[in-house]
Amino acid sequence: MRIAIIENGTVARVILAGADWQEVFPGAVGVESDTANVGDTYESGLFRPPAAPSPTSADLLAYAADLRWRIETGGITVGGTSVRTDEKSQAKISGAVILLTADQTIAAIDWEAQPGVWVSLDAATMQAIGIAVGRHVQACFTALKAVQEAIAAGDIVNFEQIDAADWPANG
């Protein structure tokens, strides 16, 4: 049988032993359990795993940076249309805006809005998309800055608070 040896309300060790286990551990408090692990607390007949350690500031900052990147590159909706915002799409959108702004001889460009879905975009539409994407990216960085400041101030101490911060929406 599997016995959890309890010391000060915590599982100190787990042994595999027969019914005479107390002869080997005289005076020990033991509870038969198939699930208890070293470090679990034991109270009112129940084993509970130890609380997870609180994340460090470095853990929180890394999580926030990753969340910012996932939101930034997760896409948005502009005028009812889904627009990709991954880094490659951001660069192509910027290039298209520059081209249409700088070369007045081009009335519109062909643009693959989604795989296999082609649209013709004029300068004003392309610029509106570029502005929306730029605002989305900036909003992601603004949110990250606020989260980093709150972590430094000790106001954000867990991942759930980072998730609940004022992040921009994806579309």
DSSP strands (E only) in 24-138: 29-32, 41-43, 46-48, 76-78, 81-83, 108-114, 117-122
Exposure of 41 in the CB half-sphere (CA atoms within 13 A): 6
Stated as kind and residue range, the H or E segment containing 136 is helix 123-153
Statement to judge: residues 40 and 63 lie in one domain: no
- Local confidence band at 21 (pLDDT 50, 70, 90 cut-offs): confident
- Local confidence band at 52 (pLDDT 50, 70, 90 cut-offs): confident
Q: What pLDDT does 24 receive?
A: 84
Statement to judge: residues 64 and 39 lie in one domain: no
Statement to judge: residues 83 and 140 lie in one domain: yes
- Local confidence band at 22 (pLDDT 50, 70, 90 cut-offs): confident
Statement to judge: residues 76 and 150 lie in one domain: yes
Q: Is the pLDDT of residue 171 over 90?
A: no
Q: What pLDDT does 167 receive?
A: 98
Statement to judge: residues 159 and 112 lie in one domain: yes
Statement to judge: residues 13 and 39 lie in one domain: yes
Q: Using CA of residue 93, residue 97, residue 103, residue 104, what is the dihedral sign?
A: positive
Residue 62, in any domain of the structure: yes
Residue 111, in any domain of the structure: yes
Statement to judge: residues 139 and 78 lie in one domain: yes
Structure tokens at 111: 């643009």
Stated as kind and residue range, the H or E segment containing 72 is helix 57-72
Statement to judge: residues 32 and 96 lie in one domain: no
Residue 19: give the domain boundaries.
Answer: 2-48
Q: pTM of this prediction?
A: 0.75
**How many domains does one find in the chain?**
2
Residue 121, in any domain of the structure: yes
Residue 170, in any domain of the structure: no
Q: Is the pLDDT of residue 129 over 80?
A: yes
pLDDT tens digits for range 83-116: 999 999 999 999 999 999 999 999 999 998 878 9
Statement to judge: residues 88 and 14 lie in one domain: no
Residue 117, in any domain of the structure: yes
Statement to judge: residues 42 and 81 lie in one domain: no
Statement to judge: residues 81 and 147 lie in one domain: yes
pLDDT tens digits for range 26-50: 889 999 999 999 999 999 999 999 9
- Which of 49-53, 80-84, 149-153 reaches the highest mean pLDDT? 149-153
The closest of 64, 61, 29, 35 to 48, measured between CA atoms, is 35
Statement to judge: residues 68 and 7 lie in one domain: no
Residue 71, in any domain of the structure: yes
Residue 169, in any domain of the structure: no
